[in-house]
């Protein structure tokens, strides 16, 4: 069986939903398992509603709810052609929005927020199921809340998922299309939760690994992973093949097409991931698998909102255990370190979660002089950069020659070389890397 995940823009309008449905229905390999995001813009609106409710601004929340409901009523009119399904879908939408309105009366906490945010995927999957059924397709909706669960560390519980999904699949045999929600799950306490923004990719990969599927397809609004960020760089091209490690580095370092955690489950299960364009299904897209093309630089990505922290210390303090003490401070505030460089007198690190920056800096001051640089970004070059391959460093540095560089990191893996630069230099750096590495 194959898993197909359709992102927000792929199901972003009735017209797009119809296109997805017809593609899924005409697929020659049934059954298929499809994972859907919320229609584009919906999760943002649900977060906006929650933000109003946190501030006890009921009028603000009601206005967003009303606008969203108006939009969905229109979608129902456009999507379904029979009175039977129009009536069913209108009733479903009415219940959903009454449910959203019920939160405007009560105490509002993150528990209520998670329930509100989950409705985007619940709505899109119900609408798609009705549409497939209206068109005579043997489809069934499986609630992700019945099998997708995170543990006490907020990590997906793959063991639970495998067990539960296998029971659910046995109870629902004989369908051509299985549908479920991306993004949403239950946490270790059984409450409704989610896998973080963009997490539907992660859902698809986890389900693919649990089934196990033959292939995991991520359908989006672009023809695969490009060799640089098309939002900032002119002339980028789709890459036809990536190794799992290369794809994981690119996703982690900002290639938005893939959620940072999406590659791991597929990689461990050895299931290829294919990135495809819903607007252009004939385009080849990108296959992510175990193959590694020797000595090839594949792509560039950038990760935003990075802060650099430097601790300069006297030589004495640089004795055994110094780095451990530094790392323990970051660990105690659950703040992961992205990049690290060391010298005899100091250590520089970068983080992307600044929630506890002040506390971390205060504690680090015990060990030396601390300097913080904000508004930075990591630019990362990915490919087969095994250290015995020669020449790639010169090429990459040549592309970066006009950019002030705060940190360089290479050697942590065979697949990337990263630079920490000012956010204001990001676009220039990405363009120059594309010009030198790919467009010459
Ligand atoms: P979806 O809603 O389908 O999950 P996303 O918006 O999360 O889609 O991801 C697709 C977008 O990722 C593309 O429209 C593109 O602008 C952006 N993107 C960023 N970097 C890359 C890259 N290297 N290759 C392809 N797309 C990228
Ligand atoms: N709907 C969620 C979001 O907008 C999850 C996803 O689309 O992957 O972040
Ligand atoms: Mg996405």
Q: What is the pLDDT of residue 106?
A: 76
Residues 415 and 220: beta-carbon distance below 8 Å: no
Residues 6+ apart with CB under 8 A from 218: 5, 7, 201, 204, 257, 258, 262, 273, 274, 275, 276
On the question of a cis peptide bond just before residue 340, with omega within 30 degrees of 0, the verdict is no
Residue with tokens 């939160």: 103
The pTM (predicted TM-score) of the whole model is 0.95
Residues 7 and 37: beta-carbon distance below 8 Å: yes
Residues 121 and 184: beta-carbon distance below 8 Å: yes
Residues 6+ apart with CB under 8 A from 431: 232, 233, 234
Q: What pairs with residue 65 in β-bridges?
A: none
Ligand 1 site: residues with CB under 6 angstroms? 7-10, 37, 198, 220-222, 225-226, 229-231, 255-257, 301
Q: What is the DSSP letter of 424?
A: G
Residue minimizing CA distance to atom 9 of ligand 2: 197
SS3 content of the chain, % helix, strand, coil (to 5): 40, 25, 35
- Pocket test of ligand 2: the residue of 42, 183, 204 to mutate, having most ligand atoms within 8 Å of its CB, is 183
Q: What is the DSSP letter of 143?
A: -
Element (H, E) at 334: none
Instruction: List, as residue ranges, the binding site for substrate.
Output: 43, 121
- Pocket test of ligand 1: the residue of 230, 288, 431, 437 to mutate, having most ligand atoms within 8 Å of its CB, is 230
| Six-digit token string for 397 | 């540095």
Instruction: List, as residue ranges, the binding site for ATP.
Output: 5-8, 220-221, 231
Distance 439 CA to ligand 2 centre (A): 33
Residue with tokens 């015995």: 388
Phi, psi of 73 (to 5 degrees): -60, -40
83 C-beta neighbours (distance < 10 Å), count: 8
Q: What is the pLDDT of residue 168?
A: 98
Alpha-carbon 38 to chain mean position: 14
Q: Report the C-alpha gap between 131 and 136 in whole angstroms.
A: 9
Q: Report the C-alpha gap between 321 and 323 in whole angstroms.
A: 6
Q: What is the pLDDT of residue 30?
A: 83
Residue minimizing CA distance to atom 5 of ligand 2: 198
Phi, psi of 152 (to 5 degrees): -65, -20
Q: What is the DSSP letter of 190?
A: S
Distance 51 CA to ligand 1 centre (A): 26
Whose atoms come closest to the Cα of 182: which ligand?
2
Whose atoms come closest to the Cα of 195: which ligand?
2
Distance 122 CA to ligand 3 centre (A): 17
Distance 372 CA to ligand 2 centre (A): 32
Task: Encode the chain (440 residues) as per-residue pLDDT tens digits.
Answer: 999 999 999 999 999 999 999 999 988 888 999 999 999 999 999 999 999 999 999 999 999 999 999 999 999 999 999 999 999 999 999 999 999 999 998 789 999 999 999 999 999 999 999 999 999 999 999 999 999 999 999 999 999 999 999 999 999 999 999 999 999 999 999 999 999 999 999 999 999 999 999 999 999 999 999 999 999 999 999 999 999 999 999 999 999 999 999 999 999 999 999 999 999 999 999 999 999 999 999 999 999 999 999 999 875 555 678 888 999 999 999 999 999 998 888 899 999 999 999 999 999 998 899 999 999 999 999 999 999 999 999 999 999 999 999 999 999 999 999 999 999 999 999 999 999 999 98
Q: Report the C-alpha gap between 340 and 348 in whole angstroms.
A: 6
Distance 306 CA to ligand 1 centre (A): 20
Instruction: List, as residue ranges, the binding site.
Output: 5-8, 43, 121, 220-221, 231
Helix locations, 80-152, DSSP H: 83-102, 110-134
Q: Report the C-alpha gap between 230 and 78 in whole angstroms.
A: 32
Q: What is the pLDDT of residue 53?
A: 96
Q: How far apart are the first and last CA of the chain?
A: 42
> Which residues neighbour ligand 3 (ion) by CB within 5 Å?
7, 198
Residues 239 and 225: beta-carbon distance below 8 Å: yes
Q: What is the pLDDT of residue 318?
A: 55
Distance 434 CA to ligand 2 centre (A): 29
Residue minimizing CA distance to atom 4 of ligand 2: 43
């Amino acid at each position: 069986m194959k898993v197909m995940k359709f992102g927000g823009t792929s199901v972003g309008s009735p017209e797009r939903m119809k296109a997805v449905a017809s593609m899924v229905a005409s697929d020659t390999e049934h059954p298929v398992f499809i994972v859907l995001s919320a229609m584009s813009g919906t999760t943002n609106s649900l977060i906006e509603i929650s933000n109003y409710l946190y501030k006890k601004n009921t009028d603000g929340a009601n206005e967003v709810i009303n606008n969203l409901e108006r939009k969905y009523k229109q979608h129902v009119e456009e999507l379904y052609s029979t009175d039977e399904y129009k009536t069913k879908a209108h009733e479903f939408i009415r219940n959903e929005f009454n449910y959203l309105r019920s939160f405007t009366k009560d105490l509002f906490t993150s528990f209520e927020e998670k329930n509100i945010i989950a409705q985007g995927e619940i709505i899109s999957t119900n609408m798609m199921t009705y549409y497939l059924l209206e068109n005579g397709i043997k489809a069934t909706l499986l609630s992700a809340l019945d099998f997708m669960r995170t543990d006490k560390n907020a990590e997906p519980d793959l063991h639970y998922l495998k067990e539960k999904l296998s029971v659910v699949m046995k109870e629902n045999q004989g369908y051509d299309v299985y549908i479920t929600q991306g993004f949403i799950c239950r946490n270790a306490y059984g409450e409704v939760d989610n896998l973080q923004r963009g997490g539907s990719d992660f859902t698809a990969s986890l389900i693919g690994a649990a089934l196990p599927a033959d292939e995991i397809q991520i359908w989006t609004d672009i023809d695969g992973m490009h060799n640089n960020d098309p939002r900032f760089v002119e002339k980028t091209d789709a890459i036809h093949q990536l190794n799992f490690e290369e794809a994981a580095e690119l996703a982690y370092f900002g290639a938005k097409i893939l959620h940072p955690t999406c590659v791991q489950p597929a990689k461990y299960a050895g299931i290829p991931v294919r990135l495809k364009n819903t607007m252009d299904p004939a385009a080849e897209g990108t296959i992510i698998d175990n193959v590694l093309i020797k000595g090839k630089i594949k792509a560039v990505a950038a990760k935003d909102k990075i802060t650099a922290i430097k601790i300069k210390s006297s030589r004495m303090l640089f004795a055994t255990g110094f780095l451990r003490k530094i790392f323990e401070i970051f660990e105690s505030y659950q703040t992961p370190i992205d990049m690290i460089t060391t010298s005899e007198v100091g250590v520089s690190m970068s983080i992307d979660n600044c929630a506890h920056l002040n506390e971390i800096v205060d504690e680090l001051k015990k060990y030396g002089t601390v300097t913080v640089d904000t508004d930075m970004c990591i630019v990362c070059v990915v490919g087969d950069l095994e250290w015995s391959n020669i020449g790639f460093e010169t090429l990459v540095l040549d592309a970066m020659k006009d950019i002030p560089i705060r940190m360089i990191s290479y050697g942590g893996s065979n697949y990337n070389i990263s630079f920490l630069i000012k956010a204001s230099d990001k676009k220039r750096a990405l363009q120059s890397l594309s010009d030198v590495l790919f467009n010459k």
